[in-house]
Structure 1
Amino acid sequence: MSQPKVELLDKVRHKNVKLDTSTMDIPENHVNASFVVVNELSNLVHEYPIFITKNPTTGQFQLTAILGLKSGINLYLSGKEWRAKYLPLEILRRPFSAMMEKEDLSAGRIALDLNHPMVNESEGQSIFTETGDATPFLERIQNTFAQLMSGSKRTEAILNLAAEHNLIHAINLTIDLANGEKTAINGLYAVDTEALNKLTGEALEACHKAGVLEVCHLLLSSGAHIEKLIQWHDESQK
């Protein structure tokens, strides 16, 4: 694989750049987890198991969709296709990235790896029009980053409040596979249902108003999709 060549998008320099979006089988998608944010939860919980994890850099709680049972294996990838109707925003934004402004971490510009396998000048989605304006495709990418940035802040606030009320606890997720093998996904946290059911008075009202209760119930409902991943994994081994 060639070395990345990341550049901030420029309507002159990158006027002929296109993105081949015909396949989801790109290097970045060969992962077994994806960061997600609260504003996409209502769609994602219908298709993904979602847990709480900790950001390895900041230590802050975050939301993570589990895509596979082993590192580097994405069970939602089937050839070039993605086996779900809804994709996490973090998946949708690829292969673009955000270059944050040092003075203002809430602001940033979109960058692209020109050596990425999706990037070419002959086929796929154009980024800029002939007049240098953003194409509808690029506008969707810009909106994806806007949702990720606003959603990240809201997610952090909701999970911090949940933690303050002891609604988050560490779990051990060990899975028995059909071939007799056991696999474990480490570093996961989940909603403490006992603590959730004991919320009363001002604490209950505060969590309701902040959206904590809704997020907790969505996360709890998503756990059933682990069974689907086990089935997909077992089928892939036959």
Structure 2
Amino acid sequence: MTAQTVEMLDSIKHKHLCVNSANYNCAQNHINVAAVMVSELSTLVHEYPIFITKNSSTGEFQLSAVLGFSMGENLYLKGDSWQAKYLPLDILRRPFQLVKPEPNSKAQGHLAIDTASPQIQEKLGERLFEASGNPTPYLQRIQKTFSQLMQGVEQTKALLKTADEQGLIEPVTINIELNDEEKTSLKGLYAINQKAVTALKGKALEVCHQSGVLQVCHLLLSSGLHLEKLIKWKNAQISIE
């Protein structure tokens, strides 16, 4: 995605554009982690290994679904399809992005679209605007997705801050051995310290329960099982190669 191809969404300029939302195999989805919001966690933990990472810009904790073991590797992609029933909002919102206003501005963010994305077409896919210029039901869903993302960022940030203050987050390195004896590791990840969760009591336990931290801790701990699925998919790729 380049600045030259990202355009502010316009009902006149982009009235003929469609999005082929069934084609997931495009450059923007060749990523090995996707941002996750607390609000979607209870659904996504059934299909994705989800860990805690740090925002490279702010240093604040955030939730991330692991999609692959190396930069640009997305093992959930199989042909043009996505190998999961549920997709993170961070994937569903593509090829759109939110252009935020300047700091301290009261203006709301505006949707922009990457016109170079292979998902963008003029005949096949979901139209963005009605003949009247109003957003189609598809574009309304995208707008709702961004609304959920914006709300989710602050909610997720606050919850992970509480978890960190209670000493429940620890750095982890995940070492993985593949069938061809190749070894790889996932670094820069953080996880929930199960012993610290079990040891919670008194006021700390009450704070974690009431804030929702306790539920999130249990969900994150259970999601790690999906790493085995990713290893299986990776090994299947290796055997074909």
Tell me which interval the TM-score lies in, with the shorter structure as reference length.
over 0.9
Alpha-carbon distance between aligned partners in 1 of 2:193 and 2:106, rounded to the nearest angstrom: 32
Shift of 1:13: 1.6
Aligned to 2:25: 25
Q: Work out whether 1:218 is the aligned partner of 2:219.
A: yes
Aligned to 2:88: 88
TM-score normalized with structure 2 length: 0.95
SS at match of 1:94: coil
Q: Any residues of structure 2 matched to 1:89-128 within 5 Å, and which? A: 89-102=89-102, 103-104=104-105, 107-128=108-129
**Which deviates more, 71-80 or 96-105?**
96-105
TM-score normalized with structure 1 length: 0.96
Shift of 1:12: 1.5
SS at match of 1:98: strand
Alpha-carbon distance between aligned partners in 2 of 1:172 and 1:140, rounded to the nearest angstrom: 37
Alpha-carbon distance between aligned partners in 2 of 1:28 and 1:57, rounded to the nearest angstrom: 20
Alpha-carbon distance between aligned partners in 2 of 1:150 and 1:104, rounded to the nearest angstrom: 18
Aligned to 1:55: 55
Aligned to 2:38: 38
Two-structure CA RMSD over aligned residues (Å): 1.5
**Which deviates more, 221-230 or 14-23?**
14-23
Aligned to 2:199: 198
Alpha-carbon distance between aligned partners in 2 of 1:186 and 1:149, rounded to the nearest angstrom: 27
Shift of 1:234: 0.4
**Which deviates more, 15-24 or 165-174?**
15-24
Alpha-carbon distance between aligned partners in 1 of 2:218 and 2:124, rounded to the nearest angstrom: 43
Cα pair distance change 1:2/1:160, threshold 3 Å:
closer
Deviations 1:125-172 (A, max 9, x none): 100101111101001101110111111100000000000000000011
Aligned to 1:236: 237
Deviations 1:196-223 (A, max 9, x none): 1111111111111111001100000000
Alpha-carbon distance between aligned partners in 1 of 2:184 and 2:76, rounded to the nearest angstrom: 18
Alpha-carbon distance between aligned partners in 1 of 2:215 and 2:36, rounded to the nearest angstrom: 16
Aligned to 1:160: 161
Cα pair distance change 1:106/1:217, threshold 3 Å:
farther
* Letter matched to residue 64 of structure 1: S
Alpha-carbon distance between aligned partners in 2 of 1:90 and 1:172, rounded to the nearest angstrom: 24
Alpha-carbon distance between aligned partners in 1 of 2:2 and 2:22, rounded to the nearest angstrom: 21
Aligned to 2:12: 12
